[in-house]
A and B are shown apart, each in its own frame.
Chain A
Amino acid sequence: MSSSSVLEEIRRAEEFLVVGKGVWRIDALDKVTGRARFTSDFVLKDALHVRLVKSPIPHGRIIEIDAERALGLGPVRVFTAADIPGENQVGYALPDQPLLPADKVRYVGEPVALVAAPDEDLAEKAAELVEVRYEELPAVFDPLEAMERSDVLVHEDRGTNIAEMTRVRKGNVERGFEESDVVVENTYRTGHQEHAPLETEGAVAIPDTQGGVTVIASIQYPHLCQRITARVLGLPHSMVRVIQPYVGGGFGGKDDMGPVVSAMAALVAFKTGKPAVLVYSRRDSFTSTCKRDPSVVRYKTGATRDGRLKAIEVQIILDSGAYANRGPYVLWRATMHAGGPYEVPNAKVDGFLVYTNKVFEGSFRGFGNPQVQFAAESQLDELAERLGMDPLEIRLKNLLRPGSRTITDQLLESSVGIYEAVKLLGEKTGFRAKWREYRRERAGRVRRGIGIACGYHGISTSRGVPDWSNATVILGRDGSVTVETGICEIGQGSWTAHAQIAAEVLGVPVERVKVVGGTSDAPDTGATHASRGSSIGGIGVYVAAKRLRERLAEAAARLLECDPSDVEIREGRAFRRDSPDDYVEWEELVQAAYSMGYEMSATGYFFLPKGKFDMERGLGYAYPAFSYIANVAEVEVDLETGKVRVVRVWPALAAGRILNPVLVEGQIEGAIAQGMGYALTEELKFEDGRMLNPNFTDYLIPTSLDVPEVEAPIYVEDLYEYGPFGAKGVGEMALIPTPAAIMNAVKNATGVRITEIPATPEKVYFHLKEAGVVAGE
């Protein structure tokens, strides 16, 4: 596929029949009727139920695991590290994470053994009776302390608690600050965030007749799940088959946890020869799955009098908890996005990923980016304040445009729509007038404020890490269309988008297309993460469908006695462009093509071209494309309670072609709610590493009464040359700037800058009190 010709073709197209339309989800009927099946619905009759035995201490050596009392209860089996036939290693970025630890535990809630029994109650009881003796070790919980200490090590063999360091060195920051008229410096902190998918993590493993195992699990990447499970069992990959049923929310967590939970269930199935079911309780889902990394970000920004950014110096510290998991990649993403979507000529960024004795962290919508954008976007408002500018003006002065370079010095030639998006957003919201008005007013108990924040997010994997798309499209003799992909449907709607792409290219109604995804039987399409499901995942579908379309055009040309280039196929009919009444029905065409000897299945593979990245200086080609977002948030702050109510949010998105506006709106509305929870209420509390609030009563995700009104998004369709029909990624976007937009609005309302999220009512109240905005007692 030559890129320029594809882009040309997309631009030439005047209209689409399916793409860009609010096509109904292909899975909606299954879901509204309750017929959709999730992992825990696949419990076979003779299945063993699996429960976790979890560590009650944050750090300690395992002296002995005594299962005698548990085994005495009846038909109970207990599995520990010693039972793992393959490699006891599930670490993603670094080989530091056992499936079940053999020597020591590193956080409260770490699974140390698995208990299996024919019924749930027995498994539960038996798990309580497994006695584990530990020799407690001193623990470290604060990442700033952990990075300095070498006497308490979460992983002794590494000799330090720093798991990874990253850097960007662009230009000369010393000179940049010298040339600045104003310099602003602050420290920002963000907390843990729990994914809280309503369906908890789970896997059902079924032994097959050839010594392998089939796993049905709540996952985001079947082939990764296959690799990790095979590694743990010591089997060739081909002996592990992974199937994703419907998944009740992922948000990144199931990308990381899917393989772990699958490997646990598979271990039991493999050792017992019986089907095994492991479904995490809500409590397990809180205590023993990865979270969003808490962060400390020290941020210094310099600008000239006229508001041009000159330099940034940023230190990012991510608390990785007990294991690195995806942390090194999260940190790289945070590092490379530290500047925000702005032109910054001089940048120095240092990132540190630090081990502590708390639950480990990992992938979560935004992947390190929300933490740094919170800091970067708060900084920008503080800078504007010092310069006497308004928040919109300073952004418009510095936003990336086609031809700009990022802080890693990557040249952005095209597909950079953020400037236009922000301009339109400012006009639509009447931002300047409101911002001035609220700032002037600042009276009464409930104060109103408005804030803006931007964000950008590299689509696909970071740096030179290979990325590709891969799909198969098969035409049945009855004219039915099957798309096979490794992309998972986790609620975002990628399978519907895939069906739209196939339908548009082939010229059939979307109802004809069936998508078989999320299984290791389909081609390895990479993970459903990094906002790549529909965008990168869809390229393979586009390429494969295009191949079939060409073959069908040839076949139709023979039937219609014309040149293939004169054939049009749309809405299930092939006809000559100059005489539409002279047509062949789709089924007839497919059957004829079969008879003429055309291959009616095609694979679509596309390897993303990427440039070079210099790891030493952190410079070069970071991502094939960026999506851009800006949110304006309007809030009310109750000075007496400290409660912040987000009244309304206006989003503006530059993510290339909008393949399905209803799906995209759904992603935006959901991401804003999740971002609001992250900013205001979602707080995990720990005491000596023990989580104090592992439930929905004490950990508050937004309810129907908490969420703001979300206005219809502004779309700037800044087409991306390799994306299907020019689409870029959407899923993560609207969460990224939401915390900063809210806290910038709080500042507008009260005059007080809050640099720490979640900004719970208590925290807000005390900040306001400290600043003298509310009278103290």
Chain B
Amino acid sequence: MRAGGGGIVVRFTLNGREVEVTTRPNATLLDLLRNELKILSVRRGCETGECGMCTVLVDGLPVRSCLMLAPQVDGRSVTTVEGVGDPERLHPVQEAFVEAGAVQCGFCTPAMVLTAKALLDRDPNPDERTVREAILGVLCRCTGYAKIVRAVRLAAERVAGGVRE
């Protein structure tokens, strides 16, 4: 990280690729990802850390990108849903979301998928309560969470059962 001219240069890993970008020192990670890098799956829901729509993984852990300043990710690794899977190679969590009907309007889906992935990466076999606690920070107004919880557990079964990956 170095300050210069109009802003600060930040170097970090984004979805496995090295990125170097100049940003305002007061820009949030959300601003950087959405406005500068055009990662549009990271969504603005409240900008006060309440809704969880802007969740990304920083060094593998869920972070609300509206509450983190862009320069804070210097030297760290950021994952958005684009780095989790694509239509040809879905991550088991994404696959389970499709199959379990865990998607409705889709606005919270990237945040949910990332949060679920982070959970399964550290706890491959969570019980229902653990899943509910893990996704607590991401609001969903459509599903009542039932099918999201089911999808996360379905993904866990598959990963643990060696069906995928």
Contact = CB atoms under 8 A, between A and B. Distances in A.
B64 to A, nearest CB: 12
Contact of B103 (A31, A671, A710): A31
A35 interface: yes
Interface stretch (B3-11, B69-77, B130-138, B156-164): B130-138
A697 interface: yes
Contacts of B106: 27, 30-32, 36, 246, 248, 491
Given A701-B141, A703-B139, A705-B133, A666 B104 contact: yes
B81 to A, nearest CB: 4
Contacts of A24: 98-99, 101
B19 interface: no
Contacts of A199: 43, 45, 105, 107
Contacts of A662: 101, 147
Contacts of A672: 144
B90 interface: yes
20 contacts: A32-B103, A32-B109, A34-B40, A37-B40, A38-B43, A197-B105, A246-B107, A247-B105, A248-B105, A248-B106, A491-B106, A491-B142, A666-B143, A669-B147, A670-B104, A696-B51, A697-B50, A704-B133, A704-B136, A710-B146
Interface residues of A, number: 57
B41 A249 contact: no
Contacts of A452: none
Contacts, number: 167
B46 interface: yes
- Sorting the interface of chain B by its residue count into under 10, 10 to 19, 20 to 34 or 35 or more gives 35 or more
Interface in B45-64: 45-48, 50-51, 53
A674 B135 contact: no
Contacts of B133: 704-705
A28 B103 contact: yes
A641 B120 CA distance: 35
B92 to A, nearest CB: 11
Contacts of A673: 143-145
Interface in B83-129: 85-87, 90, 94, 97-99, 101, 103-110, 113
B139 A31 contact: no
A493 B40 contact: no
Interface in B15-48: 40-41, 43-48
Given A28-B103, A38-B107, A491-B106, A197 B141 contact: yes
Nearest to A489: B105
Contacts of A705: 132-133, 136
Residue among B82, B105, B135 with the most chain A CB within 10 A?
B105
A100 to B, nearest CB: 25
Nearest to B82: A34
A156 interface: no
B149 interface: yes
A22 interface: yes
A701 B82 contact: no
A29 B51 contact: no
A12 B109 CA distance: 40
Contacts of A553: none
Nearest to B151: A32
A251 interface: yes
B44 A198 contact: no
B146 A491 contact: no
B148 interface: yes
